Structure 1
Amino acid sequence: MHLLIVEDEASMARRLQRLLEEILGDRITSLVRVPGVAAALDHLSKKTIDLMFLDLNLNGKDGFTVLQSLLAGSFDVIVVSAYRDRALEAFDYGVLDFVAKPFSGQRLGQAVDRYLNHQGHPDRPLSKLAIKKQGKLTLIDVSDILFVQGADIYTTLHLRPRPKNVNIHPTELSDKSLESLSRLLPPDFIRVHKSFIANINACQELRIEGGGRYALLLKDGRKIPVGRTRYQEVRDRFL
């Protein structure tokens, strides 16, 4: 795992590093501490990370600048901040968790476990997803996503037809992996296959296709595969 701590208070940054080293041990490949927005953006322009720990008040500058600039990035974000009143806003941006200062090592460990175990935030699921399109950020309503298909480190979002093109199913590319999206998307989205996440509200029927194969029939007539190990979980959602 490649970690980035964005924290301007040196003692807090050191404590975060110490706790993360205790929690994650040899899972950590690299751990970098930077004191502010400019340094964070510079690091992210050169290096790929998996998880960021972000303060929201960095030498008087707003940490949301980092989120706004790299909202569509492939990494996950855990906010560590004393600004509890900004927690809901942070979740709207698609952060994985909000750890309020002061915090215990146990609370930080819970946030890290959420990342490791692909668990989303049950009380504040993501409502919009940012993607990069022609060099700009575009926000997509999560409710418009029918299913997500993984391809290497990227994903393809299959969306509801737009009113002017009711017979055309648009797609958009996201830099976030299936694992990352499985942590962020609402409970109505379930991992049905190693390469697919489905919006259960867009599905009509679970089919047994023979030969140990299963599939979900979408309301628009398309089918997506269901993995054998995930069949029981998907079946339970239809009961």
Structure 2
Amino acid sequence: MIKYIAIDDEEHAHEVIRNFCKKIPYLDLIEEFSDPLEAVSFIDSYNDKIDLVFLDIEMPRLSGIDFLKAYSFPNVIMVTAYSNFALDSYQYGVVDYLLKPFSFDRFSMAINKVRERQEKNKAISKKKQEEESHILYLKTTRKKYIKLTHAEIKYIRGAENYAVIYTTTATIIASERLKELEQLLPSDSFHRVHRSFIINLDHFDSLDGNSIQLKATDGCLPVGATYRQKFLDYLHKGMQTPVEKKPAE
């Protein structure tokens, strides 16, 4: 749902917007205002619940442009009889500029722009969340905090009270223990293969007996007896493919 408010000093404008919005099922009216100053007090309390604002420009006491200068909204559609304010309004990130009178088709185009912007913002937010989920924050033995992406980590070697992280660019000594890092890292990408080693499977090349060969001649890691079968089960699972059923004769 797109929750909206309308701010316009003309009742006819409210009626047009209201009727057009009723034809679009995902638009939900929150409130209408004929006085922009009344809208100000409402917005101070409900700003985070407003997805869209229909805003007139020429209004008594406070113009639409001054309103834009004072408040920021995810989406604003200007609704006005004056074309000379279009350039100024776009400087404040408005989605569209509707000149009165406007048709339902033109109104729908503006709403589609709002939806496109929302979808784009959702995609950006999702990508950011995914990127954050693939980041590991570590405290080094020098009490310095560093940020690593999962892709940078090749493997980790555990010691008594710390861990050595081998990345694509450096070797880092972290104050976390191997068990703690194992719990922080996703099990579908990182596997404990030895009591002293965790491998990033993106850097796994082959398994020969009790030795794992890393990609790009980065050496070998031992496979502990306790962890061998679980690791083999994972590899076999990854190799399995669905069997195609033959049609009955």
TM-score bracket, normalised by the shorter chain, equals 0.3 to 0.5
Which is greater in Rg?
2
Q: From the two aligned structures, give the one with the greater strand fraction.
A: 1
Q: RCO (CA 8 Å, sep 6+): is it higher in 1 or 2?
A: 1
- TM-score between both structures, scaled by the size of structure 2: 0.46
